[in-house]
Amino acid sequence: MATSRRRQGFGPVLKNRRLVALWLGQAVSNFGDALARIALIILITDRTRSPVALSLLMASQAVPMVLLGPFIGVLVDRWDKKRVMIAADLLRSACALLLMLGPPLTVIYAVAVAVVTLSLFFMPARSTAIVEIVGREQYLSAVSLSQSTFHALNLIGPAIGGALIGLFGAAAAFGINAATFGVSAVVTLAVPFPPLPRAQRRASAAEYWASLREGLGFLRQDQRLWFLVRFFGPAAAGLGLAGLLLLNYVRNDLALPPAEFGLIQSVEAFGMLAATLAIGQFGSAWPRGRMIFDGFLVAGLLIAAFIFNPGFYPLLAMLGLFGLALGFVQLPVSALFGVLTPVDKRGRVFATTNSLIQVANLVGYAAAGAVASFMSTGVALGLAGGVVVVASLALRRDPAYRLLNAADTAPESEAAASSGPAARAGSPASE
């Protein structure tokens, strides 16, 4: 029988003390991250005023996700999640301290790669721990709580960060980020985690490779998950291209000062916060597939509208709506991958999926640096938005789209049983 959809809200998960502790510790770290992200972009653009430099920054952050993500996922599935999270926080704190020194561009890029690599360990470990702590029934609300907090801090963090950087420079933002990673590590140390099953604790090299192939095979065999990966390929390429071009438009074309640039980043986060709050409170009854694809459709249309070269105030409104649209994509996708993947495969599946999507993002980043050199940013954004719109419309005809809307939180065999003969006829190998 498919899992019933019903309104849960945040009440049950807020009674879970372990989750609340992790949530608060991560909230502090998220605030520091919001400051550091804007500081890094301002640091690069102030030194270079070049879209190519921004493209290199984004590409350098995507490369470890592409090359290392699946392998790190295998390790995370077998390592102690608590130790992984603490080690990643402490090492990321050291990286932030290094950025305080104002190193040359090559070192900045290297540190950016290191931080992303460490986050590749932290994120699947944390995602897996949350599922184990709250269970499948409360996972959507738990993820929504986490994402809502993330976007709330992204709402105030960039605005504060822009003003802080304008007064004291980027080093102050990196120093605060280093301190918040330390707080996150201390909080994680105090939280009891579920024990790691003995069968997962050790493995030979051959077993690691077999485990990696198993994770890839699972992702390929589940019709709904593989459909999402196929969809996110062209869509992620379009969003990767658009994201970098938007940064170039705001920082280089409009030449906004740090305070106004921070406000721009906050408005987008406001839209994402509104979406995640709505989904967390009422989203259990909403079809996941429709949320995801409608969100992408609206995001693509808004990106395409940049062909009209909006000024500062229209830009604020457009980015607020853009954040709202992306919020209706990110949360249901995250929840789907969490509940459809067995606990012993989640690290591999999360990391592998992230890597596949980052390949598409990398294509978008690489294209953006070249496109911005011979085409206006507005025209390029119009083309990128078109890619996202076409992808969001074309793939709705796939049978897996109906499965996502029919029973997206049930095992695939249950989803097929509850969605009728038409869905079963179009289903490939099951999970």
pLDDT of residue 409: 45
CB 300: neighbour CB atoms within 10 A? 26
> Quick one: which of 417, 365, 279, 313 has its CA closest to 54?
365
Q: State the Cα–Cα distance between residues 103 and 113, nearest whole angstrom.
A: 15
Which letter, b or e, does each residue of 179-206 get, where b requires 16 or more Cβ atoms within 10 Å of its Cβ? ebbbbbbebbeebebeebeeeeeebeee
Domain 11-193+202-397: CATH class, spelled out: mainly alpha
Q: State the Cα–Cα distance between residues 310 and 378, nearest whole angstrom.
A: 9
CB 316: neighbour CB atoms within 10 A? 17
Give the number of C-alpha atoms closer than 13 A to the C-alpha of residue 199, restricted to the C-beta side.
2
Give the number of C-alpha atoms closer than 13 A to the C-alpha of residue 247, restricted to the C-beta side.
27
Q: What Cα–Cα distance (Å) separates residue 17 from each residue in 23, 89, 231?
A: 10, 21, 37
Q: Are 212 and 71 in contact (CB under 8 A)?
A: yes
Q: Are 430 and 313 in contact (CB under 8 A)?
A: no
What secondary structure letter does DSSP report for 137? T
> Quick one: which of 242, 234, 250 has its CA closest to 368?
242
User: Cβ neighbours of residue 130 under 8 Å, at least 6 residues apart?
Assistant: 19, 22, 139, 142, 143, 146, 338
- pTM here? 0.64
pLDDT of residue 69: 65
Q: Are 329 and 276 in contact (CB under 8 A)?
A: no
Taking only the tens place, the pLDDT of each residue in 67-104 is 776 677 667 777 888 888 899 999 999 999 999 988 88
> Quick one: which of 197, 215, 339, 328 has its CA closest to 275?
328
**Phi, then psi, of 419 in degrees rounded to 5:** -110, 5
Give the pLDDT of the chain (431 residues) as one tens digit per residue: 334 444 455 677 777 777 788 788 888 888 888 888 888 888 888 888 777 787 788 778 777 877 776 677 667 777 888 888 899 999 999 999 999 988 888 899 999 899 988 988 888 788 777 777 776 667 667 777 777 777 677 778 788 888 888 888 888 999 999 999 999 899 888 887 776 655 444 544 555 566 557 667 777 788 888 888 777 777 777 777 788 888 888 877 887 788 788 888 788 878 887 887 788 777 667 788 888 889 989 998 998 898 888 888 888 899 889 989 988 888 788 777 777 777 667 766 776 677 677 777 777 777 777 777 777 888 888 887 887 788 788 878 888 888 887 744 443 433 333 333 222 223 222 22
**Phi, then psi, of 7 in degrees rounded to 5:** -70, 125
Structure tokens at 12: 């049950």
**Residue indicated by tokens 């995250």:** 334
Taking only the tens place, the pLDDT of each residue in 266-304 is 888 788 878 877 887 776 677 888 888 899 899 989 988
Taking only the tens place, the pLDDT of each residue in 334-384 is 777 777 777 667 766 776 677 677 777 777 777 777 777 777 888 888 887
> Quick one: which of 361, 403, 406, 405 has its CA closest to 384?
361
Structure tokens at 379: 């025209």
Domain locations in the chain?
11-193+202-397
Q: State the Cα–Cα distance between residues 41 and 54, nearest whole angstrom.
A: 8
> Quick one: which of 164, 132, 137, 135 has its CA closest to 38?
164
Q: State the Cα–Cα distance between residues 363 and 370, nearest whole angstrom.
A: 11
Q: What are the helix (H) ranges across 135-257?
A: 139-168, 170-190, 205-221, 223-248
